[in-house]
Copies of this chain bind each other. A is one copy, B any other.
Amino acid sequence: MIRNTKMLYFPMYNDKYGKLVPVEANGNVPFDVKRVYYIYEVMDGMRRGFHSHRDLQQALICIHGSVKILVKTPFEEDVVCLNNPQEALWIGPMVWREMYDFENDGVLLVLASEHYTEDDYIRDYQSYEQEAKVFFNVKEKRTYK
Protein backbone atom coordinates (compact mmCIF):
# COMPACT_ATOMS: atom_id res chain seq x y z
CA MET A 1 0.00 0.00 0.00
CA ILE A 2 1.20 3.54 -0.64
CA ARG A 3 1.66 6.07 2.15
CA ASN A 4 -1.48 7.36 3.85
CA THR A 5 -3.59 4.44 2.66
CA LYS A 6 -4.38 1.15 4.35
CA MET A 7 -7.01 -1.57 4.35
CA LEU A 8 -9.50 -1.88 7.20
CA TYR A 9 -11.31 -5.14 7.91
CA PHE A 10 -14.72 -5.45 9.53
CA PRO A 11 -16.49 -8.37 11.19
CA MET A 12 -19.59 -9.89 9.59
CA TYR A 13 -22.57 -11.51 11.26
CA ASN A 14 -23.75 -14.15 8.83
CA ASP A 15 -26.73 -16.36 9.55
CA LYS A 16 -29.82 -17.67 7.81
CA TYR A 17 -31.32 -14.16 8.08
CA GLY A 18 -28.59 -12.63 5.91
CA LYS A 19 -25.34 -10.76 6.40
CA LEU A 20 -24.66 -7.74 8.59
CA VAL A 21 -21.42 -5.76 8.75
CA PRO A 22 -21.06 -3.24 11.60
CA VAL A 23 -18.74 -0.25 11.40
CA GLU A 24 -18.12 1.76 14.55
CA ALA A 25 -16.93 5.37 14.28
CA ASN A 26 -13.71 5.79 16.28
CA GLY A 27 -13.68 2.00 16.52
CA ASN A 28 -13.06 -0.10 13.43
CA VAL A 29 -12.95 3.14 11.43
CA PRO A 30 -10.41 5.43 13.07
CA PHE A 31 -12.33 8.71 13.00
CA ASP A 32 -15.65 10.45 13.76
CA VAL A 33 -18.08 9.88 10.90
CA LYS A 34 -19.40 13.34 10.14
CA ARG A 35 -20.42 12.67 6.56
CA VAL A 36 -21.54 9.63 4.58
CA TYR A 37 -22.05 9.48 0.85
CA TYR A 38 -22.64 6.80 -1.71
CA ILE A 39 -21.91 6.65 -5.42
CA TYR A 40 -23.88 4.41 -7.77
CA GLU A 41 -25.08 4.00 -11.34
CA VAL A 42 -21.66 4.85 -12.71
CA MET A 43 -21.66 3.91 -16.40
CA ASP A 44 -19.05 1.71 -18.05
CA GLY A 45 -15.93 3.61 -18.95
CA MET A 46 -16.57 6.46 -16.52
CA ARG A 47 -13.83 7.52 -14.18
CA ARG A 48 -14.41 9.96 -11.35
CA GLY A 49 -12.67 11.45 -8.33
CA PHE A 50 -9.60 13.25 -9.69
CA HIS A 51 -8.86 15.09 -6.49
CA SER A 52 -7.04 14.97 -3.18
CA HIS A 53 -8.09 16.22 0.23
CA ARG A 54 -5.80 18.28 2.43
CA ASP A 55 -7.01 16.95 5.80
CA LEU A 56 -9.98 14.63 5.30
CA GLN A 57 -9.84 10.95 6.14
CA GLN A 58 -12.18 8.56 4.35
CA ALA A 59 -13.09 4.89 4.41
CA LEU A 60 -14.27 3.56 1.02
CA ILE A 61 -16.42 0.45 1.10
CA CYS A 62 -17.90 -1.32 -1.91
CA ILE A 63 -21.21 -2.69 -0.66
CA HIS A 64 -22.51 -4.02 -3.96
CA GLY A 65 -20.62 -5.15 -7.05
CA SER A 66 -17.04 -3.96 -7.44
CA VAL A 67 -15.03 -0.83 -8.12
CA LYS A 68 -11.37 0.02 -8.67
CA ILE A 69 -9.62 2.85 -6.86
CA LEU A 70 -6.38 4.40 -8.09
CA VAL A 71 -4.52 6.04 -5.21
CA LYS A 72 -1.46 8.08 -5.98
CA THR A 73 1.12 10.40 -4.46
CA PRO A 74 3.99 12.15 -6.25
CA PHE A 75 6.14 9.14 -5.30
CA GLU A 76 4.06 6.02 -5.91
CA GLU A 77 0.69 4.69 -6.96
CA ASP A 78 -1.55 1.70 -6.35
CA VAL A 79 -4.82 0.24 -7.64
CA VAL A 80 -7.15 -1.32 -5.08
CA CYS A 81 -10.08 -3.43 -6.26
CA LEU A 82 -12.90 -3.24 -3.74
CA ASN A 83 -15.50 -6.01 -3.96
CA ASN A 84 -16.01 -7.13 -0.37
CA PRO A 85 -18.31 -5.31 2.07
CA GLN A 86 -16.07 -6.44 4.94
CA GLU A 87 -13.12 -4.38 3.64
CA ALA A 88 -12.53 -0.65 3.46
CA LEU A 89 -9.81 1.36 1.83
CA TRP A 90 -8.75 4.04 4.29
CA ILE A 91 -7.36 7.14 2.60
CA GLY A 92 -5.67 9.79 4.71
CA PRO A 93 -4.70 13.34 3.78
CA MET A 94 -2.95 14.32 0.54
CA VAL A 95 -3.60 11.25 -1.58
CA TRP A 96 -4.87 11.66 -5.14
CA ARG A 97 -7.72 9.29 -5.98
CA GLU A 98 -9.67 8.15 -9.05
CA MET A 99 -12.56 5.66 -9.06
CA TYR A 100 -13.44 3.54 -12.08
CA ASP A 101 -14.73 0.17 -13.33
CA PHE A 102 -17.91 0.21 -11.28
CA GLU A 103 -19.10 -3.30 -12.16
CA ASN A 104 -22.16 -5.45 -11.38
CA ASP A 105 -24.14 -2.43 -10.24
CA GLY A 106 -21.27 -1.22 -8.09
CA VAL A 107 -22.19 0.90 -5.06
CA LEU A 108 -19.38 2.71 -3.26
CA LEU A 109 -20.09 3.84 0.30
CA VAL A 110 -17.75 6.51 1.67
CA LEU A 111 -17.46 7.46 5.33
CA ALA A 112 -15.74 10.80 5.90
CA SER A 113 -14.14 12.39 8.96
CA GLU A 114 -15.39 15.91 8.26
CA HIS A 115 -18.34 17.72 6.75
CA TYR A 116 -18.04 18.90 3.18
CA THR A 117 -15.59 21.81 2.77
CA GLU A 118 -14.60 22.89 -0.72
CA ASP A 119 -11.36 24.42 0.69
CA ASP A 120 -10.18 20.93 1.61
CA TYR A 121 -10.15 19.77 -2.03
CA ILE A 122 -7.26 19.98 -4.48
CA ARG A 123 -8.69 19.33 -7.92
CA ASP A 124 -5.75 20.18 -10.16
CA TYR A 125 -3.08 17.48 -10.38
CA GLN A 126 -0.13 19.86 -10.88
CA SER A 127 -1.13 21.86 -7.80
CA TYR A 128 -1.64 18.63 -5.86
CA GLU A 129 1.81 17.38 -6.80
CA GLN A 130 3.53 20.54 -5.63
CA GLU A 131 1.61 20.68 -2.35
CA ALA A 132 2.03 16.94 -1.70
CA LYS A 133 5.80 17.08 -2.16
CA VAL A 134 5.99 19.74 0.54
CA PHE A 135 3.50 17.88 2.74
CA PHE A 136 5.24 14.53 2.62
CA ASN A 137 8.81 15.78 2.75
CA VAL A 138 8.49 18.52 5.29
CA LYS A 139 5.68 17.24 7.43
CA GLU A 140 6.36 13.50 7.27
CA LYS A 141 5.15 13.08 10.84
CA ARG A 142 1.63 14.09 9.85
CA THR A 143 1.23 10.82 7.96
CA TYR A 144 -0.99 8.33 9.73
CA LYS A 145 0.80 5.09 8.90
Measured in the bound complex, the distance between the Cα atoms of B36 and A55 in whole Å is 22
When the two chains form the complex, which single residue of B21, B46, B85 contacts A18, counting CB atoms closer than 8 Å?
Answer: B46
Kindly list chain B residues whose C-beta atoms are within 8 Å of the C-beta of A38. 20-21, 63, 85, 109
Contacts of A79 in B (CB 8 A): none
Residue from the list B24, B40, B47, B63 in contact with A19, Cβ < 8 A: B40
**Stretch from A27-35, A70-78, A89-97, A131-139 that touches the partner:** A27-35
Q: Mark A90-119, 1 if CB is under 8 A from B, else 0.
A: 000000000000100101010100011000
Closest to A47 in B: B17
A20 to B18, CA, bound (A): 26
Interface size class of A (residues with CB under 8 A): 35 or more
A36 touches which of B36, B40, B47, B64 (Cβ 8 Å): B36
> Which one of A17, A33, A36, A115 has the highest number of Cβ atoms from chain B below 10 Å of its Cβ?
A36
